[in-house]
Structure 1
Amino acid sequence: MTSRTGFFVLSAALLLVSLVCIGEGVQLVATGKPLGIGLGLCAFVVPGIGVWFLRQTVRFGRASERLARELEAEGGLPVDELRRTDAGRIDRASADEVFARRKAEAEQSPGDWRVFFRLAVAYADAGDTPRARKTMQHAIKLHGSTVQIGSTK
């Protein structure tokens, strides 16, 4: 399953669960009992948090794709320069070498979103997804003067 397909499947599941939560919340509020009303209101909050999280994920994905397209048009998109094992997995030492080079580039050019984009890819290749996401958010923020995260340009 591709990540895009997985995203749509999980989004559909989130929306289905949200509808069920809202339906149950309406029934609990309709009981008129204080405990039922309290639980019913909580049942409305859970889908709101889920929808907010989904929205943030979509915005992040669109913004990072936009940066990737721009970097590709400039010819600066990182190529796969990693060595792989016979099974096709990324060689850890190779990922560490590329990461060290990308980190040095980022330290030399702290205001360039391009080097932070490439550093985020290096983090992802090294298996550090949380830092990859945070670094990509930093690249998006640095690029923010020309690309607005929620825009449809």
Structure 2
Amino acid sequence: MSGSQDEEAESAVLAHKQFFTLRLADYLAPETVEEFDSWRFMGREWTGEAFGATEFLRPRGNPHDTVLVNLDLQELPALKIKEILSRLELALTPGMEETELAALLGSPVKQHDFLPDRKTLDYQMFQPDPYYLSLTLRKDKGLTNILLIAEELSKP
């Protein structure tokens, strides 16, 4: 990959149709997964599943479709991280550095430096469907958190 804008746009993630069917309990022992039907996050009400700070969320108004996956790469078992990232079709690994992410995804559309020990890089992905991807890197640990949201196919 030469890193041109056209090639960066070719980065693909799991199609929405398959993303909507994802469940955290498919990857972890069901007894370790907390299920909930009322959770407030990012200004919206959700239903879904959690394992610590890892969440698979579905809108309360559409509780059948997972539209948000938030992965805490520091607390999930390494094998499960690999399985989930493979299913999401994300070529990411825990601990990746910013230069590795730039080589893979190009330049972020936005960068946040909320705390001195970490930064968050935001990306827009459009293949095969639109996604918002937010990656948090800690200075001493590299990539530690992944937030992936299936964006609406049509905005009002």
The TM-score range, normalised by the shorter chain, is: under 0.3
Q: Looking at CA atoms only, which structure, 1 or 2, has the larger radius of gyration?
A: 1
TM-score, normalised relative to structure 2 = 0.26
Structure number having the greater strand percentage: 2
TM-score, normalised relative to structure 1 = 0.26
